[in-house]
Amino acid sequence: MKKVAILSTAAKGKIALPSDPPLPVHECSDLAAGISAVIRESTGPLGLIFFITPREFAETRSYLQSADSPDLYYTICLLGAKGDSLELNQNDLRRLQHFSTTGLSGTEFMFHAHKAASTLEERHAGAREKRENHELLMDMRNDQEDLISIGRSLSIEKDPDRLFRMILMLSKKITGADAGSIFIVETGANGMKFLRFKYSHTFSKELPYEEFVLNIDTKSIAGYVAVTGNVLNIPDVYLLSSEDPVSFNSSFDRTHNYRSKSMLVVPMKNHLDEIIGVIQLINSKEDSTNRHKATGNEAFEVVLATPEDFEKNVVPFEKRYETLMEAVAGQAAIAIENNRMMKQIQNQFEEFVKASVTAIESRDVATSGHSFRVAEICKELAYAINGETDGPFKDRTFSDTAIKELEFAALLHDFGKVYIDLAIFQKSKKLFPRDYDNLMLKMDYLYRCTEIRFSIEEKKLLESSLRGADTGDRFEQIKKERDDTLAKIRDIKARLSRLNEPTVTDDDPEATIKEIMNEFSDIRCSDIEGRQLPTLTEEEKLNLQIRRGSLNPNERKEIESHVVHTYNFVSKIPWPPEYKNIPEIALKHHEKLDGTGYPDGLKGNEEIPLQARMMALADIYDALAATDRPYKKAVPLEKTLSILQEEARNNKLDADLVELFIKHELYRKIDRDSFKLEHAKS
**Alpha carbon separation from 61 to 37, 43, 95 (Å, rounded):** 16, 22, 10
Element (H, E) at 583: helix 582-587
Average pLDDT (374-401) is 94
> How much is the pLDDT for 259?
94
DSSP character at residue 670: B
Return the top range by mean pLDDT from 154-163, 493-502, 654-663. Answer: 654-663
- Nearest residue to 168 (alpha-carbon basis) of 245, 283, 278: 278
Identify whether the C-beta of residue 26 lies closer than 8 Å to the C-beta of residue 50. no
CA pair distance 121, 3, nearest whole angstrom: 9
CA pair distance 314, 328, nearest whole angstrom: 22
Each residue of 516-572: pLDDT tens digit?
Answer: 888 888 787 777 677 777 788 899 999 999 888 888 999 989 989 999 999 999 999
Instruction: Band the pLDDT of 294: cuts 50, 70, 90.
Output: low
> How much is the pLDDT for 296?
63
DSSP character at residue 38: H
Instruction: Band the pLDDT of 277: cuts 50, 70, 90.
Output: very high
**Residues paired with 77 in a beta bridge:** 51, 98
Average pLDDT (453-465) is 80
- CA–CA–CA angle 547, 551, 554 (5° rounding): 110
CA pair distance 323, 326, nearest whole angstrom: 5
> How much is the pLDDT for 680?
38
**Alpha carbon separation from 308 to 302, 315, 465, 595 (Å, rounded):** 13, 13, 137, 77
Instruction: Band the pLDDT of 596: cuts 50, 70, 90.
Output: very high
Domains of the chain plus CATH, in order, are 2-130 (3.40.50.2300), 157-341 (3.30.450.40), 362-421+557-669 (1.10.3210.10), 433-550 (no CATH)
The pTM (predicted TM-score) of the whole model is 0.65
Average pLDDT (132-154) is 73
AA letter at 430? K
* Model confidence at 632: pLDDT above 70: no
**Residues paired with 179 in a beta bridge:** 202, 282
Sheet holding 212-215, edge to edge: 212-215, 193-202, 177-187, 275-284, 263-269, 232-234
More confident residue, 287 or 349: 349
For helices 54-67 and 31-41, the axis angle rounded to 10 degrees is: 40
Parallel, antiparallel, or unpaired for β 2-8 and 25-28? Answer: parallel
Each residue of 643-672: pLDDT tens digit?
Answer: 999 999 999 999 999 999 999 999 887 654
> How much is the pLDDT for 426?
80
Instruction: Band the pLDDT of 242: cuts 50, 70, 90.
Output: confident
Each residue of 51-64: pLDDT tens digit?
Answer: 998 888 888 888 88
Instruction: Band the pLDDT of 164: cuts 50, 70, 90.
Output: confident
- Cis bond upstream, residue 599 (ω within 30): yes
> How much is the pLDDT for 404?
95
DSSP character at residue 526: B
Q: What is the mean pLDDT of the chain?
A: 86
Instruction: Band the pLDDT of 631: cuts 50, 70, 90.
Output: low
Parallel, antiparallel, or unpaired for β 275-284 and 263-269? Answer: antiparallel
Cα 431 to the center of its chain, rounded Å? 50
Instruction: Band the pLDDT of 208: cuts 50, 70, 90.
Output: confident
